[in-house]
Structure 1
């Protein structure tokens, strides 16, 4: 095969790959847009709010992703749109604990501890959404995160027959927003592979949470 033909094949393959990733990105967004709300006043009431974790700080600066999610959770509770919270995130080591950090800030907002439950194994979006159903026995809830993240989380929920909606909170603009958007596009392509090709399960499943199931049945 000549160099010219090799270049043509490589360019055609790259074009096909980019087109496929772009289509997946559009398709996932289109599949879930009707389940996303940006106004707390308009979002339907759900008993459970699933807050997807992220780090509170980036270096020494507050992470706006985190701040917006926590502020939205507070407002949802205050306006009686959510009764209980499932805080799902990474608990990589003793000094980094996303669920406990979120809990501490919700407690400061006068949200009762009895209304807060922690999922320490929400290592990624797929884990958080699937564990909500398979471990905490909840298949109807409001996800709280940024809009771009809402779309992927809702797509995962929809695939697993979970009745979820999402409260979309603000995210970054400018160069930071563009970088995040590119990463999200790639994450959506990976989600398709995880679900439909590799049949990926959460890193940890374990037994169902009896305490959470009990509170839901009161």
Structure 2
């Protein structure tokens, strides 16, 4: 009995490992040449979508994923590679508002307020991509996040009918970076579960035209 349980446990570990590898491979392979590190090489799109994250970590320190995404967005806008910015993030409580925080920092960096649109219901990457298509009426967009996140977002966008490319914000190495990228492997498995079950955004809402 113990031996059978052990074999079952090992089989589950092996299956889980294979599943993680396969999901990761499919997403990476499907998004080849869709993300860019060079501001010179990235094509122009009307709208850039910056994906939200918290400004500070749980320990109160600044979140560099956040600040690097701000930097990348400003760089794209100043290089005239995007004309408008859609900020998509979590606004789950009155105490936590990613879109407003990002908007304030973009304005501080010199982005005109009228060029910024807010999606307060971007609770997940899936929500952000579907709402960009169906609420904000986008057919094409440039996604702005770290490369590992851009790959997943682009794969979801493609599945939902949004033609997307990604501009890679600076990534983070070390322990914090490793933890985030480890979680990303599991998030990529969730992508396929969401697609199979036709998972929908938490909210849709009235259409908003970006112009």
Instruction: Say yes or no: TM over 0.5.
Output: yes
Matched with 1:51 is 50
Q: Which residue of 2 aligns with 1:20?
A: 19
Q: With structure 2 as the length reference, what TM-score do the two structures score?
A: 0.95
What's the CA shift for 1:13?
2.5
C-alpha distance in 2 between matches for 1:160 and 1:83: 23
Q: Which moved more, 1:171-180 or 1:146-155?
A: 171-180
Offset from partner CA, 1:150-172 (integer Å, 9 cap, x none): 11000001111211000011121
The residue number in structure 1 matching 2:121 is: 121
1:167 alignment partner in structure 2:
167
What is the CA–CA distance in structure 2 between the aligned matches of 1:169 and 1:154, rounded to whole Å?
A: 15
Shift of 1:95: 2.6
2:33 counterpart residue number: 34
CA distance in 1, matches of 2:5, 2:116: 58
SS of 1:129's equivalent in the other structure is helix
Q: 2: CA distance between counterparts of 1:8 and 1:108?
A: 58
2:198 aligns with: 199
Q: Which runs of 5+ in 1 are unaligned?
A: none
SS of equivalent to 1:165: strand
Which segments of structure 1 move beyond 6 Å, counting only runs of 4 or more? none
* Whole-angstrom CA distance in 2 between matches of 1:152 and 1:10: 29
Q: Contact conserved, 2:129 with 2:160, CA < 8 A, in 1? A: no
| SS of residue in 2 equivalent to 1:101 | helix
CA shift, 1:174, in A, is 1.7
Aligned to 1:144, the other structure's residue is in SS state: strand
Size of the aligned set, in residue pairs, is 210
Report the 3-state secondary structure (helix = DSSP H, G, I; strand = E; otherwise coil) of the residue aligned with 1:51: strand
Show structure 2 runs of 5+ residues with no match.
none
